[in-house]
Amino acid sequence: MNSPLAENFHSAFATHQGVNDLPWLAAHRQSAFVQFQEAGFPTRRHENWKYTDVSRITKTGFVTADATHNVIQADDLDSLKFNAENSHELVFINGQFSAEHSNTGSLPDSVVLGSLRDALVNTPALLESSLNQCLDSNNHVFAALNTAFFNDGAFIYVPENIVIEDPIVVYFVSTSTEAKLTIAPRNLIVLGKNAQANVIESFHGLKDVVSFTNTITEIETADGAILEHYKVQQENIDSFHIGGTHLKQHRNSRVESHSISLGGAIVRNDIVTELADEGAEIILNGLYMGNGRQHVDNHTLVNHSRPNTRSDENYRGVLDGRAQGVFNGKVIVHKDAQKIEAAQSNANLLLSDHAEIDTKPELEIYADDVKCSHGATIGQLDKNMLFYLRSRGLDEETAKSLLTFAFAGEVISRIKFAPVREQLEFTVGGRLPDAELIKANLNAAKKIEAR
């Protein structure tokens, strides 16, 4: 507990946490902080952190954000938004809800969309039955820290048989250049029976901001519910991001999860889902890109707890410079979970001799009537394809850019929500050597589609 960050957390908890909490929440916080005190920050001796060194985070004296940091210029915020008409928007500035910049639009009265902090005041019983129910923080000290320190986040509750047609977009923006802030958003998404929603979490940092985001999203889908969930992480190159998405899915519910990691010095994403009843299905779609000395770590865990459940996972990584990537995808088929289907694929493209990837797909199967597959590939650009494009008159940089964009596009093309897909196409294309050509082609394609 002697790192600068640990000392700051200890001081903050002793001074502020739990002062105005409901008793059940105070108990959760106290238990989580004790866990942090006992475990400390993970090191590379911990199996789940073998390839990721968090000492750059723990040695930085980040301080917890408060309401005085809830400031942003409208133009700065607008420049970060998706071009999504009719969306329901929640905006959090340095982890604090900004009603001024949010626009929830028109929704049925029974739907709850807003600040988790407000919901703890207005609908505490609803949160008591849902908050911390999908999360096993015993296996992740940063999840325990989030429980101990979150003071806001998004709360989305869609009752049974309600379909939210327009997307819900939640923006998290780090803005402070005066102080190095740590923010701990806690998001809770609950869908009732046969409810449907599309939720996009979008993380950004303004120029020259150095921040540490430690975020958790809990998702519970009741029988027959359908959710499309997007997490787009584009914080700046000097920031740190550790995030967890924890899901519990009930009978015949379906979730599509899209995880996109483009920014940050050190990024760690954990997705943990329990397919808790028959017919539950999850699609996991992921793209991570790194350059310079970026480090991007993705861990996924799918628990097939019941028979006749299905998971399909496809993650792709593009690494250049001295970037490092980590992928650990684990599928557990529990005893008597017969007739499940689980497919997992991780493909990686290394654009330099110094880029690295450590990939570890895993299957643990304790049932005998199952259909499972997994695989991982690591490679460079196809020389035959490069030769083919060069023979058609393209220079080498252009050919490499087009092939790299096509590789990443396998993931981006699966994104159904057009504003997110189109922005990512331009963002990813803009990071490649021949960015202008790719952007020109994308603009031409958009004009053709618009006719």
Would 351 be classed as within a structural domain? Answer: no
37-59: average pLDDT: 94
Least confident of 84-88, 141-145, 314-318, 411-415: 84-88
Which residue range is the domain that position 124 belongs to? 4-277
Confidence of residue 69 (pLDDT cuts 50, 70, 90): low
Confidence of residue 52 (pLDDT cuts 50, 70, 90): very high
Highest mean pLDDT among 8-22, 108-122, 174-188, 376-390: 108-122
283-289: average pLDDT: 98
147-174: average pLDDT: 96
Residues 54 and 179 grouped into a single domain: yes
pLDDT at 374: 93
Contact by Cβ (8 Å): 357, 317: yes
Residues 240 and 117 grouped into a single domain: yes
Would 355 be classed as within a structural domain? Answer: no
Residues 112 and 242 grouped into a single domain: yes
Would 260 be classed as within a structural domain? Answer: yes
Confidence of residue 425 (pLDDT cuts 50, 70, 90): very high
Would 307 be classed as within a structural domain? Answer: no
Q: Shortest CA distance to 234 belongs to which of 201, 273, 282?
A: 201
Contact by Cβ (8 Å): 104, 89: yes
Least confident of 12-16, 94-98, 213-217, 412-416: 12-16
| 108 SS3 class | coil
Contact by Cβ (8 Å): 201, 232: yes
Confidence of residue 442 (pLDDT cuts 50, 70, 90): low
Would 377 be classed as within a structural domain? Answer: no
Least confident of 235-244, 255-264, 437-446: 437-446
Q: Shortest CA distance to 324 belongs to which of 268, 279, 375?
A: 268
Q: Name 71's Cβ contacts closer than 8 Å, sequence gap at least 6.
A: 93, 175
Out of 277, 292, 318, pick the residue that ends a domain: 277
The model scores a pTM over 0.85: yes
Residues 80 and 216 grouped into a single domain: yes
d(CA 188, CA 119): 11
The CA R_g of the chain, rounded to the nearest whole Å, is: 22
Residues 272 and 415 grouped into a single domain: no
pLDDT at 393: 83
Would 133 be classed as within a structural domain? Answer: yes
Out of 244, 261, 277, pick the residue that ends a domain: 277
pLDDT at 21: 84
Confidence of residue 225 (pLDDT cuts 50, 70, 90): very high
Residue type, 373: S
Residues 273 and 396 grouped into a single domain: no
d(CA 369, CA 121): 48
Strand 186-191, strand 211-221: pairing: parallel
pLDDT at 303: 97
| Statement: residue 443 has pLDDT above 70 | no
pLDDT in tens, 90-131: 999 999 999 999 999 999 999 999 999 999 999 999 999 999
Would 94 be classed as within a structural domain? Answer: yes
| Statement: residue 246 has pLDDT above 90 | yes
Out of 277, 309, 332, pick the residue that ends a domain: 277
As for how many domains the chain has, the answer is: 2
CA 424 to chain centre: 15
Percentage of the chain modeled with pLDDT above 90: 75
Confidence of residue 170 (pLDDT cuts 50, 70, 90): very high
Q: Pick the residue with more confidence: 64 or 156?
A: 156
Structure-token pair, residue 212:
């540490």
Structure-token pair, residue 84:
């999504």
| Statement: residue 233 has pLDDT above 60 | yes
pLDDT at 74: 82
Would 304 be classed as within a structural domain? Answer: no
Contact by Cβ (8 Å): 425, 413: no
Residues 272 and 421 grouped into a single domain: no
pLDDT in tens, 303-323: 999 999 999 999 999 999 999
Residues 272 and 395 grouped into a single domain: no
